[in-house]
Amino acid sequence: MVTNSSSEKKTGRFPAWAKILLGLFVVLLIAALALPYFLNVDRYRGTIAEAIAMQTGRRVAVGGIRARLFPGVGVTVADLHIGNPPGFPSGDLVGAEEIRVNVEIAPLLRGIIHVNSVDLVHPKLTLLTDSKGRDNYTFAAPDSASSSSSSSSSKTADSSSGMSLDQIDSINLTGAEIVVGSVIRGAAAPLSDTKGINLKLHNFAVSPMRMHDWKSESNLAGVTLSLSGWKYPIAFHTGKFTLSDGKLDAQFVADLATAADIKGTVSVPDFEHSEVNFEMSASLLDIDKLMDVAGSGPSDSSSAPAKPAAGKSSLVAHGHINVEKITTKPYSVGPANVEIRVYTDRAELWPISIGMYGGTLQLSSRIDRVTDPARFTANVQMRNLDVAKVLDANPSARGKMSGTGELDLQLLGSLSDAWKKSLSGTGKFAIRNGHLPGVNLAGAAQSLMKMSGVGGDTPFTVLEGDINIASQRVASKKIHLDSPSGIVDLGGSLGLDGTLDYQGSTTVNTAAALGSSKVGSVVGGLLGGRAGKITVPFALEGTVDAPKVRPGKGAPSFGGSSASGSAPSSTPSTPQNDVNTLKNLFKKY
């Protein structure tokens, strides 16, 4: 017997008192887990929904409620929906798949529901603004009538249930989604959709609801932002979001698809009266990739911002964007910076300043939403552009011209898929103190200069003209080139598709063009003192990438000596037989 007792001790069996304690613990655990199923907490569903509705002034729908004791005393709600206010489309301001609520026990004994925490699983927040500037997320104080009604309802609810909702200490959002949109023709039109937000909100006072007292923080890493019409979302690498004393601040680093990496800050001084201030910067912006991302999404005119109603214009957002380098094949420019102001009825960009090949491009623009589709105006000014550097970036244009360029242009158009049809504008351009390497003035005059041995490099003091944009073409009544060798005048148009249609003439100073060469002496003898200039008509056709110079309408004409740069005579002189001989020379070339 002694041997058996010693054997039981060696096997390490539980003593009797341990078995009793373990049994009691299991019974209590089973009771605790089973107790919520015997408590009919779902009978408070209407009371809770009515309390929230009274404080928010919104329609509230609450799913089935189940009590639980672990990991804390509270309830689990199957789903929650807080609707939009009157005057907005049907739908929810807030929705969630599941809500876990932890409450304090002591206040319950006094008929007060004090919530320690609310965990919302996959909640969705939809923020809408209509054309009058109203939103669905501002909780206005109820008027006296509604206050009286709410007070009466509250007393009724309190008397029937003996419970009242006090405060929510914190709200935790896991995997949240925030949709921002406009109300268009009575329906909600999403403009942006942000997913993957994990947010903790503190001091959520319910009676009364004071958004200014809310406090919140969130890590933005992993959050994505989808914009209406964009092919890919904006992905946030790092970032932090805070809300305190009614002020919202955020810092972030985000990937604009493959077009740019953006660093930025966003600030909203008063969350209840949103006016966004922002600063953004990028080291590189690829316009080609950006256009692919922004232009490949679904085209839906219904998602466009609503046409604002007539009324007071108010500022919505204001900020600056700086980019060190902007590329669009084969060109690269920068740095660039722009100030942006967004109002309820328009957006203003002024000025956009871009460093460009030794010069500066400045552009100011305004986009008005008072028309459908929205229309834009823009003023463009270019100064000190190095034309040779611009053309050097394009192999097909490399070495074709040099000089210092300038441009003044006013544009008007609409923001739609048919923007080319609506585009119009006027302006002027000039290129000063340049060369046309490998190009003599034009047409038959070039043949004459080849005979005279003059090289293929035409210097000029100015190349200037007017600009008139309409019907998808850029037209010029007169483009004038002034060179020591003569002048060129032409008029016509360039299509937005790259097609060329110009008619013009070149007037060559024979003395400058022919010089003292042997052929020049022969031609000079033929002409004698009767013709100091030769005017040759020509046509410029084809495309920008493959231009074609053809003989123009009419035959070359010959005029008397005059100063360089004067307009050619409109009446061709009557040539002598020796001049006819010169014409025959042109035909050979």
DSSP secondary structure string for all residues of 343-367: ESSEEEEEEEEEEETTEEEEEEEEE
Predicted pLDDT at 20: 65
Q: Is the dihedral of CA 182, 188, 192, 196 positive or negative?
A: positive
Q: What is the DSSP letter of 308?
A: P
Pairwise pLDDT comparison (522 vs 280), residue with the higher score: 280
Dist CA 8 CA 69 (whole Å): 40
Pairwise pLDDT comparison (560 vs 315), residue with the higher score: 315
Dist CA 41 CA 447 (whole Å): 101
What integer is the mean pLDDT of 392-414?
Answer: 89
Predicted pLDDT at 332: 93
3-state secondary structure of 237: strand
pLDDT tens-digit readout, 297-306: 444 444 444 4
Least confident of 15-19, 48-52, 185-189, 312-316: 15-19
* Residue-by-residue DSSP string for 7-46: HHHHTTPPPHHHHHHHHHHHHHHHHHHHHHHHS-GGGGHH
pLDDT tens-digit readout, 222-245: 888 887 777 888 899 999 988 888
Predicted pLDDT at 295: 55
- Residue 406: left if φ>0, alpha if ψ -120 to 50, beta else—which one? beta
What integer is the mean pLDDT of 486-492?
Answer: 89
Contact in structure between 8 and 14 (CB atoms under 8 Å) = no
The reported pTM is 0.66
Using pLDDT thresholds of 50, 70 and 90, give the confidence band for residue 155: very low
Q: Output helix, strand, coil percentages for the chain, rounded to the nearest 5.
A: 20, 45, 30
Neighbours of 18 (CB within 10 A): 10
Using pLDDT thresholds of 50, 70 and 90, give the confidence band for residue 401: confident
Dist CA 518 CA 451 (whole Å): 9
Dist CA 68 CA 102 (whole Å): 9
Percent pLDDT > 70 in the chain is 69
Kindly tell me if the per-residue pLDDT of 52 is higher than 90.
no
- 221 contact partners, CB below 8 Å, separation of at least 6: 236, 237, 238, 239
Kindly tell me if the per-residue pLDDT of 32 is higher than 70.
no
Pairwise pLDDT comparison (439 vs 175), residue with the higher score: 175
pLDDT tens-digit readout, 340-380: 998 877 888 888 999 999 999 999 999 887 677 788 899 99
Exposed, middle or buried, 536 (CB in 10 Å: 0-12/13-18/19+)?
A: buried
| β pairing state of 164-184 and 124-129 | parallel
What integer is the mean pLDDT of 393-412?
Answer: 89
| Helices and strands, number each (H, E), in the chain | 12, 33
3-state secondary structure of 497: coil
Predicted pLDDT at 566: 42
Kindly tell me if the per-residue pLDDT of 311 is higher than 60.
no
Predicted pLDDT at 351: 82
Which three-class secondary structure string do you get for 388-454? HHHHHCCCCCCCCCEEEEEEEEEEEEECCCCHHHHCEEEEEEEEEEEEEECCCCCHHHHHHHHHHCC
Pairwise pLDDT comparison (430 vs 350), residue with the higher score: 430
What integer is the mean pLDDT of 101-130?
Answer: 80
Kindly tell me if the per-residue pLDDT of 121 is higher than 70.
yes
C-alpha distances in angstroms, 168 versus 94, 269, 589? 16, 24, 92
Residue 312 token pair: 């007071």
C-alpha distances in angstroms, 13 versus 1, 142, 415? 17, 69, 83
C-alpha distances in angstroms, 200 versus 150, 174, 176? 30, 9, 11
The count of C-alpha atoms lying within 13 angstroms of the C-alpha of 587, restricted to the half-sphere facing its C-beta, is: 7
- 278 contact partners, CB below 8 Å, separation of at least 6: 264, 265, 266, 267, 317, 318, 319, 320
Closest listed residue to residue 481, CA positions, set 473, 493, 490, 472: 490
Residue type, 278: F
Contact in structure between 256 and 237 (CB atoms under 8 Å) = no
Neighbours of 114 (CB within 10 A): 18
Dist CA 556 CA 507 (whole Å): 9
Kindly tell me if the per-residue pLDDT of 516 is higher than 50.
no
State the chain's mean pLDDT as an integer: 75
Exposed, middle or buried, 67 (CB in 10 Å: 0-12/13-18/19+)?
A: middle
Neighbours of 8 (CB within 10 A): 9
Give residue for tokens 């790092």.
238
Supply φ then ψ for residue 284, to 5 degrees. Answer: -150, 135
Predicted pLDDT at 12: 54
